[in-house]
């Protein structure tokens, strides 16, 4: 009841962390919760890693302790992307150093912000699921972002069984350590050419483990990927396909592909 009273006074619940995307946070009752497994999926090239990194950056800059465990890139590449996102420049411009004075100033300001409150970026332990859980425990963070679920499909056996084991291990880690675990995932059962290409829960595969064990399931849909020239370039639907503690729906985002940057259509100036 004390927590309810605090919430009624406008104070966020102690187990809730805002993602930094206001429209999404409203759907999720203020944000993601400790103890929850959040799965973020999408087609190849839809921007799953970029959106997960954007959330990690916004959470960290709001004062939340965040770890970003990457099985897709080196830590240096992740931070390179972070500078591109926050500085609003192209990654290839950072690599070649071809920045005009305004862009250089923007990147410098982004670097200062990231230095003051950075997420902790590390390689994802892939020796075993137990090694991953042990590292999560050692990090002692409020939020752990894992990129990606497929990187944890360890050992011998059918891919779906390995993915299901990884989902269960991530959910157990979230509960055991009272942290939010956000993991990106490919859509292993998605089929191109169907009438409605928007991702559904069954598209995540993993023997239904995502559908059963995840507390929140988010899916990225960018129309321009399936109807070039017809969809609005950059327009993105972030579909809330499962929300254990609330309703489902979608929020409108915009994807600046050149910067790998997502912005909330209703809160674009963040």
99 part of a folded domain: no
Question: Given a cut of 60, is residue 254 above it in pLDDT?
Answer: yes
112 part of a folded domain: no
Query: What's the confidence (pLDDT) of residue 148?
Result: 96
Q: Are 150 and 159 in contact (CB under 8 A)?
A: no
Give 120-145 pLDDT, tens digit per residue.
Answer: 999 999 888 899 889 888 988 999 99
CA distance 130 to 64: 25
Query: What's the confidence (pLDDT) of residue 6?
Result: 67
pLDDT band at 256 (very low <50, low <70, confident <90, very high): very high
Mean pLDDT of 162-167: 96
- Enter the tokens of residue 81: 């992307």
pLDDT band at 192 (very low <50, low <70, confident <90, very high): confident
Q: How far apart are the first and last CA of the chain?
A: 33
Q: Are 57 and 85 in contact (CB under 8 A)?
A: yes
Mean pLDDT of 59-85: 95
Long-range Cβ pairs for the range 76-83 (8 Å, 24+):
78/53, 78/121, 79/114, 79/121, 81/49, 81/50, 81/53, 81/260, 82/53, 82/57, 82/110, 82/114, 83/107, 83/110, 83/111, 83/114
Query: What's the confidence (pLDDT) of residue 269?
Result: 59
CA distance 11 to 3: 9
251 part of a folded domain: yes
Its sign, for the CA torsion 121, 122, 123, 124, is negative
Query: What's the confidence (pLDDT) of residue 39?
Result: 98
Number of domains composing the chain: 1
The model's pTM is: 0.93
Residue 24's domain comprises: 16-74+118-264
pLDDT band at 13 (very low <50, low <70, confident <90, very high): low
Query: What's the confidence (pLDDT) of residue 9?
Result: 62
The rounded Cα 266 to chain-centroid distance in angstroms is 19
Task: Say which CATH number the domain at 153 has.
Answer: 3.40.50.300
Classified as helix, coil or strand, 60 is helix
11 part of a folded domain: no
Q: Are 18 and 31 in contact (CB under 8 A)?
A: yes
Q: Using alpha carbons, list the distances in angstroms from residue 56 to 84, 100, 103, 143, 200.
A: 14, 28, 23, 8, 24
The mean pLDDT of the chain is 92
Other CB atoms closer than 10 Å to residue 227's CB: what's the count? 9
Question: Given a cut of 80, is residue 220 above it in pLDDT?
Answer: yes
Beta-carbon contacts of 99 under 8 Å, excluding residues fewer than 6 positions away, are 89, 93, 107
Percent of the chain whose pLDDT exceeds 70: 94
Give 146-163 pLDDT, tens digit per residue.
Answer: 999 999 998 889 999 999
């Amino acid at each position: 009841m004390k927590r309810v009273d605090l919430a009624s006074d406008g104070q966020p619940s102690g187990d809730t962390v805002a993602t930094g995307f206001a429209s999404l946070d409203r759907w999720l009752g203020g944000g993601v919760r400790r103890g929850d497994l959040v799965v973020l999926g999408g087609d190849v090239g839809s921007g799953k890693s970029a959106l997960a990194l954007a959330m990690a950056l916004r959470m960290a800059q709001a004062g939340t302790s965040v770890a970003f465990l990457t099985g897709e890139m080196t830590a240096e590449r992740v931070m390179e992307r972070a500078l591109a996102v926050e500085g609003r420049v192209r990654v290839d411009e950072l690599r070649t150093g071809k920045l005009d004075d305004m862009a250089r100033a923007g990147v410098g300001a982004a670097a200062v912000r990231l230095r003051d409150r950075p997420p902790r970026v590390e390689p994802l332990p892939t020796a075993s699921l137990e090694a991953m859980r042990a590292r999560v425990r050692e990090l002692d963070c409020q939020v752990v972002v894992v990129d990606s679920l497929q990187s944890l499909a360890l050992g011998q056996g059918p891919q779906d069984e390995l993915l299901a084991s990884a989902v269960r291990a991530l959910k157990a880690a979230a509960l055991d350590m009272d942290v939010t675990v956000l993991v990106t995932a490919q859509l292993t059962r998605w089929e191109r050419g169907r009438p409605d290409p928007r991702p559904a829960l069954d598209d995540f595969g993993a023997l239904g483990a995502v559908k059963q064990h995840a507390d929140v399931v988010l899916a990225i849909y960018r129309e321009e990927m399936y109807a070039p020239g017809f969809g609005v370039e950059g327009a993105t639907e972030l579909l809330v396909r499962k929300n254990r503690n609330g309703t489902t729906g979608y929020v409108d985002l915009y994807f600046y592909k050149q910067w790998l940057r997502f912005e909330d259509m209703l809160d674009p100036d963040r």
